[in-house]
A and B are shown apart, each in its own frame.
Chain A
Amino acid sequence: MKNIKIGIPKALLYFKYKELWHLFFQKLGCQIIISSDTNKEILENGIKFSPDEACMALKIYMGHIHFLQNKCDYILVPRLACLKKDEILCTNFSALYDLIKNTFPTNIIHYNVDVKHNKTEEMAFIKMGKTLGFSKKESQLAYYYAKSRADLNKIKMLDEQKKLLQQKNLKILLAGHPYNLYDQFIGEPIQKLLKENNITLIFSDIYEENDLNEQVKTITKTNYWTYNKEIIAAIVQYEKHIDGIILLTSFPCGPDSLSNEMILRKIKIPIINLILDEADSNTGLITRIESFIDILEERRKRNEERTND
């Protein structure tokens, strides 16, 4: 097949797998169309096509699917149930494929990862290639290529982030699911505000993967959501090198509702949890963030005075 257009919604797991997806489809010679940044229209359509109580992140995703409809041959909608033994993901990721299929009349290309049932990521990508008319070998090569490049990129980003830890100004860890941290409507405005206040931002989706389980155990012993464990590991890794933590959550996130509670109860440095929903006015948020920054500055000053004494 030639000139296949694959639409990728710029929401949910896009922010986690974008390199992998880009490189894979590029290598195969497919054309990729990325939906635009979340905007008002996307959000409104998302709300329209989602169940009322869905988390804001899922609503946004639905808006992006709506945006891509009729703009491409296939829309990429992954279905991920289990990435590691004894762990699960938010059930939204297990339901995503069928949820979209029953809501929009559109062609979906998807891959299914469910390690518990022996469905690995590699197999999933090969199958995806097959749907598009590529041989097993072609897809496999493209997958290896994409995977190794994406991994390299992660290492590079980690190095860069580590350098930031040397900075002298206030450093805040923005912790949360990547689709919340980087979404134009959820994390972006907060990032902007913090940067304007001369804060160095550290992100929880860039972290060291070694010893993850050990690090998580210092906060919680039984948490079993893979993506939440990653957030916790990042918090443990950066805790000693930063001034404070902002936990970002999209309302009413299931896993976060419990996972965050443990974090808030166990972490000793200043931390706030910002919960965003589609009806939020920014003013309340701005006040909370600003007063948080004040607290961090105060705390720094006191600490410095103490060391000078």
Chain B
Amino acid sequence: MKKEPMISFPHLGDYYIPIKFLLTHLTDYKVIEAPPITKKTIELGTKYSPSFVCIPFKYNLGNFIETLEQGATILFQAGGGCRYGYYTEVQEQILKDLGYDFQMMTIGQNKIITLNYLYKTIKKLNKNISFFQLSYYVLLTLFMIHFMDKIDDYIRLNIGFETQKNSFIDLKKEMLASFSKTTGFFSLLTKYLKYKRKIKNLKINKPKNCLKVGIIGELYTSMEPFSNYFLEKELANMNIQVKRFTNASFLIYQKKFKIKKMQKYIKKYCTYELGADGMDNVYRAKFLSAKGYDGLIHIKPFGCTPEIGAMPIIRKVCEDEKMPIIFFSFDSETSEVGIKTRLEAFYDMLKIKKG
């Protein structure tokens, strides 16, 4: 008996909502996100991954295995800079060698995602789709992502000071559930404005001179909270205002327009682009120093080549700007306790410094 076709994809923070929304509207198939990430996911992923590949590969592979076990038959993978662009083919090979029967789809080729390429890919699954239809839903999804990111930015700045526990998270959950039922641009905008107002009305108790910390570094560990041991939650518990630049909006469309500006801003440190997102993080280190932030946390997967190449330069910027910085590196063996202890020490130091 042939299995009923079912589309699935790996996790990346809350973005499963817009991804699922998009794929559901572009095809007639059932779409499920991979089961939520657990310790088991990363164990599975690690077991079948090349030994020192970066950790996002392991999470993705674990997601794929778990979702295939749930009956998925079509897998989507994104691609992107550095090693991500080559994930798809290697993961497909590993999963096929494990005996899974499925179709692998990628939404980008040669590291660039274009509407045309996406159209060709989706056409394979849905012959009837028109280019207009595709563009419509892609745009709608991009707006959804944009709104989500805007709300998240606000939450990060304020969640550490909520007066009622979980008020932000609960409301955000409600918002995401509502977003997933979007019917068109008007409906999305209405929902966004409604929740924006609600979230801004949440009571906070934020002192003027609160501690401010920036999170910089590699994209997956920035955007998937499980992979950084819920760092942002920890910081919120410490009553810290958090700024993080990397999100889907930045990667999909903002970065292109910012490159020139970033390059100019850090001319003293970088003559060239460093590769992947290395240069962005040099820029952010300098930018946040100028903005009066108290400290920086740089996060990345163990062995992340582009971030490792940028680290000495980031360090130099922080030395010049007298900006405290701490570096975290995540792998399947990384000790959560170790990270927490170092984070607490960092926090104590920032507090003393601030006086």
Contacts and interface: CB of A to CB of B under 8 A. Distances in A.
Interface of A: 50-51, 53-55, 79, 81, 86, 88, 90-99, 101-103, 112, 220-225, 251-255, 257-262, 265, 275
Interface string B65-100: 000000000000000001101111110011001000
B339 interface: no
5 contacts: A220-B89, A222-B85, A255-B83, A257-B50, A262-B89
B342 interface: no
Given A254-B305, A257-B52, 16 more contacts: A51-B311, A51-B312, A55-B305, A91-B274, A91-B305, A91-B309, A97-B272, A99-B274, A102-B316, A222-B88, A257-B51, A258-B90, A259-B86, A261-B90, A261-B93, A261-B94
Chain B: interface size category: 35 or more
Nearest 9 A/B pairs, CB to CB: A91-B275, A95-B309, A254-B305, A94-B275, A252-B303, A91-B306, A95-B274, A252-B52, A261-B50
Given A91-B275, A97-B272, A51 B85 contact: no
B50 A102 contact: no
B281 to A, nearest CB: 12
Interface of B: 50-54, 57, 82-83, 85-90, 93-94, 97, 109-111, 269-276, 278, 302-306, 308-313, 316, 329
Given A55-B305, A257-B50, A257-B52, A95 B90 contact: no
Given A94-B275, A95-B274, A102-B316, A258 B302 contact: no
A261 B53 contact: yes
Given A95-B275, A222-B88, A103 B54 contact: no
B274 A254 contact: no
A275 to B, nearest CB: 7
B89 A98 contact: no
Q: Which of A92, A94, A102, A221 has the most CB of B within 10 A?
A: A102
Contact of B275 (A55, A81, A223, A257): A81
Contacts of A92: 275, 305, 309
Nearest to A103: B312
Contacts of A50: 312
Contacts of A253: 52, 305
